[in-house]
Structure 1
Amino acid sequence: MNLIKNEWQKLLLRKSSWIMQLVLVLMVFLMALLLFFVNKTINTSEGSGEAPRGVTQHFDASGQPISEDQYNSIAKNDSEKAKQIRTEVLSPKDSVSALKMQKKAVTDKQTKEELQRQIDYYQVYADKGKTPLESAGGPDGAQFFGSLAQEASIATILVVIIASTIVASEFSGGTIKLLLTRPYSRSQVLASKLIICIIYAVISSIVLFVSSLLFSLMLGSESYSLPLAPATGSLNAYEMALKLTGTNFVLMLTFLSIAFLFSSVVRSQALAVGVGIGALFSGNIIATFLPLAIAKYDWLKWLIFNLFQLNSMALGNEVAGGLAMWQVILTLFAYIIVILGFTFYIFKKRDVALS
């Protein structure tokens, strides 16, 4: 416990650790300010800039509904007949009925799940007698808050910086020998630093959540208690923000453990930070190319780079390989345990005499 208190005091004394939190708040504010002016410009030039959202349904000359494929075929082959087709955006209640019919007609599991999320979305609006609106501009306050201001990666970078330097700074500052002369094992010393990194990750998550909520008020919203988008089903802004905070925290722990490993291996703070942030960005870049390889080699879906798409899954997207969210989270925790186990092993065996 004394070790944890000591590490916490060190963190408090480092101005950079709190300046980074101010930077996070500033980034959220600037994003809200940018969207405020974007929405204001669009609303000024195009009126409200909003239109009813619902399933688009096509009707033939006799008033019978036709599918999107049928409509495209007619539009391509018979321009005169295409002019007789009427297209309208269905109400939430009618959208639910149309989507249920589509769901019955498909057999693919993934497509069924996507349709069910859309059904859940429109069902809430139908039950409350509301009509979802689609803005021509940027996100409104509820969407801004639900996406955590699209700044989750910034919060993760801050945690990576702390984890990258917390051990390396002891080596570069020459204080590691003094630290290890105290009546604590190397594992206890390293564990105390790991706990502080996790606490900092919790603080960063809370700051991001609260600042996103506060600055979302600048943008206005019809309601924070209504579903955000068809892709995320019935989740409202609060539920979506909490879900994204949770998935991003898992990713924070993953990148934290990777950065912590390099912090324990290298002696240079600058090198540790560079490698830590490099791992974060390179991982996301590699993840964009993995789907092509996974289509050919299914086992590649378990690579850690593919699992970095966890936040994208929270927003309603699918991860390559068709993995469920619980599979991604459990696998990431397995990676975290292995990486941290390797980190503790290296630190216990490391010769500090050369520091």
Structure 2
Amino acid sequence: MSSFLRLVQNEQTKIYTRLRTTVMLAILVLAVILTGILMKYVIETGMNHVLQFMAFLLTLNFTALTAIFTVIVAGDIVASEFTWGTIKLLLIRPASRGKILLAKYVSVVLFMLTFLLVTLIVSYFTGLILFGVSGTVSPDAGLSTIMKAYGLEFVSLLMSATLSFMISAVFRSSSLAIGLSIFLMFTSSAIVAVLAQLKYSWVKYLLFANTNLAPYVNGGKPVMPGMTLGFSVSVLVAYWIVFYVVSWLLFTKRDVAGS
């Protein structure tokens, strides 16, 4: 276990010592603060409570920033080892390939959790400073509702990150993994909606038809009639297993002599 934790620590060091991670973090923090200033001094929103501001950020799909940044890290974390030729140095360690791959995946998840937590904390303190706690809050903007929304976003982000991670491991191409994953993130909803309107029953088995679990929790309608929370969770688990198994098979069995 201690060797695995060292592997994870090493991967975390690789992530957070890169300039791009600092830039990502700065963009995330500044975006939240500037949005708060805009809502306070430019646009008359009538906000008078920190929770209203936090709920408003969720309606703006602010977690999409974390999704993009996580996909970038996930799509690069394996492929970059082949691009820079460091894969051979990595594999001469006593740790197995499977353990190395798992350490990389865990590091991606930790990165995602960290950025979600940063979004939550910065939005809270920005809202607290700018809007205070003197106003009333509707049930839709309650703390439990906000935390539930973050939990649902975590599921969606996890699947996007795992998909990008798999593409990175399979094709050894950061640009392909990042580009394709971001493309699917921003177009999948429209594609699924069109296919659902055309009454294709197989749509419900698509990954992105099941990543949004909010309708089951908040009383909305799923993509297709008859879909349930249990069904969507089962589909997501199946996709997750396939994505990780494919990543594991290609990473552990592929010859890297020519890399």
Q: TM-score range by the shorter chain?
A: 0.7 to 0.9
How far off its partner does 1:186 sit?
1.3
Cα distance change of structure 1 residues 190 and 201 upon mapping to structure 2, 3 Å threshold: same
Larger Rg: 1
Give the strand-richer structure, 1 or 2: 1
Query: Cα deviations across residues 173-192 of structure 1 (Å, max 9, x unaligned)?
Result: 11001111111221111111
Which of residues 307, 331, 334 in structure 1 aligns to 2:210? 307
Which of residues 175, 182, 185 in structure 2 aligns to 1:280? 185
Cα distance change of structure 1 residues 139 and 340 upon mapping to structure 2, 3 Å threshold: farther
Determine whether 1:4 maps to 2:8.
yes
Cα distance change of structure 1 residues 14 and 252 upon mapping to structure 2, 3 Å threshold: same
Aligned to 2:164: 259
Aligned to 1:195: 106
Aligned to 1:159: 70
- SS of 1:223's equivalent in the other structure is coil
State the one-letter code of the partner of 2:139: P
- SS of 2:139's equivalent in the other structure is coil
Determine whether 1:320 maps to 2:223.
yes
Query: Cα deviations across residues 86-130 of structure 1 (Å, max 9, x unaligned)?
Result: xxxxxxxxxxxxxxxxxxxxxxxxxxxxxxxxxxxxxxxxxxxxx
Cα distance change of structure 1 residues 209 and 287 upon mapping to structure 2, 3 Å threshold: farther
- SS of 1:274's equivalent in the other structure is helix
Q: Summarize the alignment of residues 27-66 of structure 1 with structure 2, pairs less than 5 Å apart.
A: 27-40=31-44
Cα distance change of structure 1 residues 17 and 313 upon mapping to structure 2, 3 Å threshold: farther
Aligned to 1:104: none
State the one-letter code of the partner of 2:17: L
How far off its partner does 1:244 sit?
0.9
How far off its partner does 1:147 sit?
4.8
Aligned to 1:67: none
- 8 Å Cα contact 1:161/1:273 also seen in 2: yes
Cα distance change of structure 1 residues 311 and 17 upon mapping to structure 2, 3 Å threshold: farther
Q: Summarize the alignment of residues 91-110 of structure 1 with structure 2, pairs less than 5 Å apart.
A: none
Determine whether 1:289 maps to 2:198.
no
State the one-letter code of the partner of 2:101: L
- 8 Å Cα contact 2:156/2:212 also seen in 1: no
Determine whether 1:227 maps to 2:130.
no
Cα distance change of structure 1 residues 313 and 213 upon mapping to structure 2, 3 Å threshold: farther
How far off its partner does 1:311 sit?
4.6
Cα distance change of structure 1 residues 318 and 337 upon mapping to structure 2, 3 Å threshold: same
Cα distance change of structure 1 residues 192 and 36 upon mapping to structure 2, 3 Å threshold: same
Say how many residue pairs are matched.
250
Q: Summarize the alignment of residues 141-180 of structure 1 with structure 2, pairs less than 5 Å apart.
A: 141-149=50-58, 150=60, 151-180=62-91
Aligned to 1:15: 19
Instruction: Name structure 2 gaps, 5 residues minimum.
Output: none
Cα distance change of structure 1 residues 267 and 297 upon mapping to structure 2, 3 Å threshold: closer
Which of residues 242, 250, 274 in structure 1 aligns to 2:147? 242
State the one-letter code of the partner of 2:29: V
How far off its partner does 1:282 sit?
2.7
Cα distance change of structure 1 residues 314 and 17 upon mapping to structure 2, 3 Å threshold: farther
How far off its partner does 1:194 sit?
0.4
Query: Cα deviations across residues 40-78 of structure 1 (Å, max 9, x unaligned)?
Result: 3x7xxxxxxxxxxxxxxxxxxxxxxxxxxxxxxxxxxxx
Cα distance change of structure 1 residues 311 and 215 upon mapping to structure 2, 3 Å threshold: farther
Cα distance change of structure 1 residues 8 and 277 upon mapping to structure 2, 3 Å threshold: same
Task: Tell me: higher relative CO, structure 1 or 2? Use CA pairs within 8 A at least 6 residues apart.
Answer: 2
Distance in 2 between the 1:30 and 1:287 partners? 33
State the one-letter code of the partner of 2:24: M
How far off its partner does 1:335 sit?
1.2
Most deviating of 310-319 and 160-169: 310-319
With normalisation by structure 2, the TM-score equals 0.85
